[in-house]
Structure formats: C-alpha cells, structure tokens
C-alpha cells in the first residue's frame, strides 16, 4: 500500500519560478511514490476579502497551471467539489481548543491584512477557524505526509493535536499523526530585489511567471540586480547567487559549471551570465507553456476531467466521513 500525501494550494496568484521550484516540481515527483490528494483550497480562500468571479476564475487557472506542470489529473481537485471537507471541519472544531487557535501566527498576520485591505476593516470568523478546515483537509484522507513550506509548521502541529484529541475522546485510533514533508529545494529570490523571496504578492517585477512570454522573461532576467562586479571570486552577492541557483534549478549544469569557474577567476561578465540564465529558463519552461496551450484549447474536456476526479475523490471522502461520524456519535 502506498502512503498518502495531501496538500493544498491557494487559488490566487500566478505560478512563478519560486513556487514552481519550491513546491510544484516536488509534487510532480512525489506522485511517483505516493497516493496524492492535491487540492485547490477555495473554501480557504473565502476567509479573506475576495470577489466571487475572480475566485472562480483563479481556481480553474490554478488547475490548468498545475496540469501543465505535470500534476496528474486523477490527483487534482477543487476543495468545494468535496463538501465533506467542511462537514469534517465542523466536527473537528469540537476537538480544537479555542486557546490553541488563538495562538496561530498566520491568523495574526492575515487578520491584519484583512483589516487593511477590506473597506470596512472586516475580519471573518472563518479566518480564525481556517486551521481547523486545513486539519480536515488532511485528516479526511488520513494523509501520512503533507508537503508544505516551513510557514505551515504550526498548522501541521495543530492538525496532529486535533487528531490526537479526537482519538482520545472517541477511544479510537482512527487518525494517524500527519508529518510535514520538507524537501530541500532551490530558494529562488526576486531578480528585482534579491534580498526577498520571489513572490506573487509583492508585485509583477518580483516574480517571473512560468507561463510568461519568453521575451518578457528575458527582459526580467536581463534587468536582474547583481552587484558592482568587485568580488574576491569566492563569496557571492545574493543577486549573482540567485542567477546561479536558476541555472542549477533549470538543470543547465554544464553552463553553470563553466560560468562558475569564470566567476572564480574573475572573468565573468554579468551580461553574459544573464543571457545564459534567460535561455536556460526559457528552454526549461518551454514544454510547460506548450502543454498549457494545449490544455487551454481543450478547456471543456479538461474541466470535465477534473470534475470526474472530484467526484471519484468525493466517494472516498464520503466513506471516511461516515466512519468519523459513527465514532463521534453522530
């Protein structure tokens, strides 16, 4: 029996190189080894100020992007296709302590953000219970591992805590304790400001979209921030290091090694380095762009395929929820 993996992705923001190399590429690899549940978390998205049409569009955009990256359609669905997530979320709320939820740092950050971005400084109560729904996402499939970033550590710990309390209270051993799965990956920084991570929320110039026109990618990379060129051949400025990281991430290893030795003997021109990075990135992402175009020209079929996945995954969810309700006396 394969172990199960569950992860959620927000239906907002574009797919940039940082996200691709930081998460999605890893998901694609994990599919070979695990039974996977990859979910576009639209129920989570409504906890922040949002527009319904934009949410609907964003959810499908993410689906097309993930498929273009090689995520298998049978593992991919939109959270609201499986409403059992919310019913389990409600039940698990009874096994989550109020005090524990109050300590979640993501709530503290996001409630400030919600207050600042909505006209009426509105903070939804669903934002507060967001981690309970996340626990439900994971426990509904009794996942063993959850590939996430370090920022999700607290939510994973809460999930284990909820699972344990449910087991105790129902005198069962129903849920296992899911573990975060951190895999080493290239950290890609903003080319416009290599002191921060590449990010969708910081604005257009701080991320390079995987599906952008090659000409745009090239322009972004050619204007990458480096340094004055004075260096000792050993230590590297963050901007230059980031360009080398992109060569490694895009598997341009020969170019990487030859340019690195140029760097070490101080004969490297940054213009040349950028040119090489631009072509490495463009070549690497070309098949992804092509696959996305094909998917977009079969929009209806692709959507129906994902609806079928949602339906199939829901059958498993229904069966598990029935067992949970039985144990909970419902």
| Residue 5 touching ligand TRP (CB under 6 A) | no
- Give the nearest distance from C-beta 69 to ligand TRP in angstroms: 17
Residue 84 binding ligand TRP, by CB under 6 A = no
Smallest gap, in angstroms, from Cβ of residue 249 to ligand TRP?
Answer: 21
- Which member of 4, 16, 19, 44 binds ligand TRP (CB under 6 A)? 44
Give how far Cα 3 sits from Cα of 34, 111, 145, 243, Å.
5, 35, 8, 36
Q: Does 18 bind ligand TRP (CB under 6 A)?
A: no
3-state secondary structure of 7: strand
41 binds ligand TRP (CB under 6 A): yes
Does 7 interact with ligand TRP (rule: CB under 6 A)? yes
Ranked by CB distance to ligand TRP, the top (closest) residue is: 8
Q: Which is nearer to ligand TRP, 138 or 189 (CB)?
A: 138
Which pair of tokens denotes residue 296? 């977009």
Phi/psi-derived region of residue 229, left when phi > 0, alpha when psi is between -120 and 50, beta in every other case:
left
Beta partners for residue 255, in sequence order: none
**Where does this chain touch ligand TRP (CB under 6 A) — which range of 3-11, 54-62, 63-71, 244-252?**
3-11
Smallest distance, ligand TRP to C-beta of residue 197, A: 14
Three-state DSSP at 38 gives strand
Q: Does 6 bind ligand TRP (CB under 6 A)?
A: yes
Residues 6 or more apart whose Cβ sits within 8 Å of residue 188: 17, 18, 21, 22, 197, 198, 242, 245, 246, 249
At 33, phi and psi to the nearest 5? -110, -25
**Quick one: which of 69, 82, 84 has its CA closest to 30?**
69
Q: Which of 47, 80, 129, 134 binds ligand TRP (CB under 6 A)?
A: 134
Distance of alpha carbon 73 from alpha carbon 34, whole angstroms: 14
Residue 147 in tokens:
């590939």
Does residue 92 touch ligand TRP according to CB under 6 A? no
Please identify, among the stretches 4-12, 161-169, 190-198, 230-238, the one whose residues bind ligand TRP according to the rule CB under 6 A: 4-12
Q: What is the DSSP string of 238-287?
A: HHHHHHHHHHHHTT-HHHHHHHHHHHHTT---HHHHHHHHHHHHHHHHHH
Point out which span in 1-9, 205-213, 263-271, 295-303 binds ligand TRP (CB under 6 A).
1-9
The mark string for 136-165 relative to ligand TRP (x by CB under 6 A, - otherwise) is -xx-------x-x---x--x----------
Give the residues lining the site for ligand TRP (CB under 6 A).
6-8, 10, 41, 44, 134, 137-138, 146, 148, 152, 155
């Amino acid at each position: 029996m394969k172990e199960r993996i569950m992860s959620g992705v927000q239906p907002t923001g574009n797919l940039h190189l940082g996200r691709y190399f930081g998460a999605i590429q890893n998901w694609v690899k994990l599919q070979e080894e695990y039974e996977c549940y990859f979910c576009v978390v639209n129920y989570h998205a409504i906890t922040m100020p949002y527009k319904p049409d934009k949410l609907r569009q964003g959810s499908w955009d993410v689906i097309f992007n993930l498929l273009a990256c090689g995520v298998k359609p049978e593992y991919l669905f939109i959270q609201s296709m499986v409403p059992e997530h919310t019913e389990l979320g409600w039940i698990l709320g009874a096994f989550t302590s109020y005090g524990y939820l109050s300590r979640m740092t993501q709530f503290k950050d996001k409630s400030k953000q919600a207050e600042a971005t909505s006209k009426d400084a509105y903070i939804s109560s669903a934002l507060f219970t967001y981690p309970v729904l996340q626990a439900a996402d994971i426990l509904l499939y009794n996942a063993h591992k959850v590939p996430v970033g370090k920022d999700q550590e607290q939510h994973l710990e809460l999930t284990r805590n909820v699972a344990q309390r449910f087991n105790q209270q129902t005198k069962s051993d129903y849920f296992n304790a899911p573990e975060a799965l951190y895999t080493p990956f290239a950290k890609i920084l903003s080319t416009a400001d290599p002191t921060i991570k590449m990010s969708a929320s910081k604005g257009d110039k701080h991320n390079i979209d995987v599906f952008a026109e090659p000409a745009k990618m090239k322009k972004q990379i050619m204007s990458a921030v480096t340094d004055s060129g004075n260096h000792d051949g050993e230590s590297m400025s963050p901007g230059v290091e980031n360009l080398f990281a992109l060569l490694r991430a895009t598997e341009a290893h020969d170019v990487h090694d030859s340019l690195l030795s140029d760097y070490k003997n101080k004969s490297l021109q940054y213009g040349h380095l950028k040119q090489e990075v631009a072509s490495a990135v463009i070549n690497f992402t070309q098949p992804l762009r092509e696959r996305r175009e094909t998917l977009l020209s079969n929009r209806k079929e692709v959507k129906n395929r994902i609806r079928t996945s949602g339906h199939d995954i829901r059958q498993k969810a229904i069966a598990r929820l029935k067992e949970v309700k039985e144990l909970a006396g419902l």
